[in-house]
Structure 1
Amino acid sequence: MTIAEVSKLVDLSNDTLRYYERIGLIPPVHRNKSGIRDYDEEDIRWVEFIKCMRSAGLPIEALIEYVSLFRQGDDTADARKALLIEQRSLLIKRMEDMQATLDRLDKKIEHYEHITAIEKSLK
């Protein structure tokens, strides 16, 4: 697939896809004889994986390290697993923090709903 097709498929700009490849966030994309990027299924899986991880807030640096370890081969499986476990723990903590914020917002909203209900009943 061309970069334009992949861009549309994964809802990322061409520039973002090129950037991800340039900084090592995804492995180098296969190119055709003319040197034009020719994404195959594996390339697309990488893009989708990185997009998913980025949307969850995983840092670029950790993902670059993961891709680098992956490219080094099977001997790095333990290191990759450890990196993912660490990122999972950090993500759980962020989710807990977000849930605490959401709970606090819900209480504030409930408070204001109570106030406005009282004001309406007094009118």
Structure 2
Amino acid sequence: MNIKEVTAQTSVPASTIRYYEKEGIIPPVNRNSANVRDFDDHAIRRIDFAKKMRDAGMEISTLKQYIHLFDNVENSEDQQLAMLVEQKRIMEEKRDKMQKAIDHLAYKIENFDSHMLTVESELKSVAQDKK
């Protein structure tokens, strides 16, 4: 499969795929007789994994470390698991912060007429009195 087809299948831009190959996040991709990259299923699965981890907020350096452990270090399962657990913790923390912000906005929207307009009016009065 060529890079255009992989891009269509994975929704990962060609430039990102080439970067992943350069950085060792995906294995070196074989080339056909016309010197065009010819992606196999392993490379496509790795691209999908990298996309999911990046979407989850995993830093490139952490992703590279994880891939290195996976590909090159025997008995590294505990380290790999620890990295995934930590990434999940980071994501949950971000989710919780985002949920608090969403809840706050929902409150402001629900109480816009009864609370927000009053508070904003009082703040404007205070600001004008200071001038």
> Could you state the TM-score of these two structures normalised by the residue count of structure 1?
0.82
* Identical-residue share of aligned pairs (%): 38
Distance 1:33 1:94, change over 3 A: same
| Gap regions ≥5 residues in structure 1 | 117-123
Are residue 29 (structure 1) and residue 24 (structure 2) matched? no
Q: What's 1:94 paired with?
A: 94
Could you tell me how far apart the structure 2 residues matched to 1:66 and 1:55 are? 15
CA RMSD of aligned residues (A): 2.0
In structure 2, the residue corresponding to 1:75 is in which secondary structure? coil
* Matches of 2:92 and 2:115, distance apart in 1: 35
Q: For residues 105 and 18 of structure 1, what CA distance do their matches in structure 2 show? A: 40
Structure 1 stretches of 4+ with a deviation exceeding 2 A read: 24-36, 113-116
> In the alignment, what sits opposite 1:11?
11
- When residues 69 and 48 of structure 1 are mapped into structure 2, their CA distance, relative to the original with a 3 A threshold, is same
User: Match for 1:88: what amino acid?
Assistant: K
Unaligned runs of 5+ in 2: 117-131
Judged with a 3 Å threshold, the aligned counterparts in structure 2 of structure 1 residues 40 and 97 are, in CA distance, closer, same or farther, namely same
> Could you tell me which residue of structure 1 aligns to residue 2 of structure 2?
2
Aligned residue number for residue 50 of structure 2: 50
How many residues are treated as equivalent by the alignment?
Answer: 116
Secondary structure at the aligned position of 1:27 is classed as coil
In structure 2, what residue type is equivalent to 1:66?
Y
Q: How far did residue 113 of structure 1 move?
A: 5.3
